[in-house]
Structure 1
Amino acid sequence: MLSVIRRLVGRRQEAAEPTSAYELIGGEPVVRAIADRFYLLMQEEPRYQPLRQQHPDDLQGSADKLFMFLSGWLGGPPLFEQAHGHPMLRARHLSFRVDKAQRDQWLDCMRRTLNDTVSHKEGRQTILKALIPLADHMRNVNED
């Protein structure tokens, strides 16, 4: 992810320009909007119910963790690491069934979320492109 983002923001020459994807898309308010919108869509959209069922009744803690993770992953403050240590995403999700369908639901929900919250088109596309291999890495059910 960082190499893709470095290429994206590396095109900018002036010191006042963004130096990370976090800054490029608008920083904390936009990253918070991504986390909140993602879980709102998951809550409201029937097609995401299988994904929703794997989460606690109250989604606020999940939204907070996604916000903290995305903050550091996008080059902003490493909030998740400060609060919880290394993300170890796959290990933290091993107790949940993550198959192709779950991965695809998660990516679809995130794609819709990014479209709704990130106005910088190239930044939005770059983030989604970087999330695809991450989501695929989370799969823990062998379906081949």
Structure 2
Amino acid sequence: MSVVEAQSMFERIGGAPVIDRLVEGFYARMETLPEARGIRDMHTEELGHIKMVLKRYLCEWMGGPKLYSAEKGHPRLRQRHMGFKIGASERDAWLLCMSGALEETIAEPRAREEIYTLLAKLADWMRNQSGNPHDAGSERP
């Protein structure tokens, strides 16, 4: 097993400081890109709390400290987002913001691609509007 394979993605990308920059870059794009206006409007005016939640989630999701589940329990992402209409355009806007943030913050191209691929599957699974093959109540992507 190589050193790269033995490391978690969290370690590969540089840990919490990189995830902090990733989340800040993501929300900066959400604030400024016209394509992201719809998803920005789903959030409260103040983003401090939700940034912290996403940072904790991504740290844990990438193999870092389990700060998210210690505070919130199981992610239940679809359930937590059911109050929002998420269709293809919302998914695409979210991925546009995340793609730019990944490009800006994740130095290793292979890691960046791996993260994006997994996040794209997750974003598609989050859709709860027409055309979502998971509307039947599936718990896993």
How many residues of Structure 1 are paired with residues of Structure 2 in the alignment? Answer: 132
Q: Which of 14, 33, 36 matches 1:48?
A: 36
Residue 95 of structure 1 aligns to a residue whose secondary structure is: coil
In the TM superposition, residue 13 of structure 1 has moved relative to its aligned partner by 4.1
Structure 2: state its 5+ residue gaps: 133-141
Distance (Å, rounded) in 1 between the aligned partners of 2:113 and 2:63: 16
Instruction: Provide the aligned C-alpha RMSD in A.
Output: 1.6
Distance (Å, rounded) in 2 between the aligned partners of 1:13 and 1:111: 26
Give the aligned partner of residue 59 of structure 2: 71
Distance (Å, rounded) in 2 between the aligned partners of 1:76 and 1:120: 18
Query: How does the TM-score come out when normalised to structure 2?
Result: 0.88
Give the aligned partner of residue 116 of structure 1: 104
Structure 1: state its 5+ residue gaps: 1-9
Q: Structure 1: which 4+ aligned runs deviate by more than 2 Å?
A: none
Query: How does the TM-score come out when normalised to structure 1?
Result: 0.86
Deviation per residue, 1:35-79 (Å, 9 max, x gap): 111111101222210110001100111111110000010000111
| Contact in 2 for aligned 1:18/1:24 (Cα 8 Å) | no
Distance (Å, rounded) in 2 between the aligned partners of 1:77 and 1:48: 30
In the TM superposition, residue 24 of structure 1 has moved relative to its aligned partner by 0.2
Q: Which of 119, 124, 129 matches 1:136?
A: 124
* Pairing 1:57-68 to 2, within 5 Å after superposition: 57-68=45-56
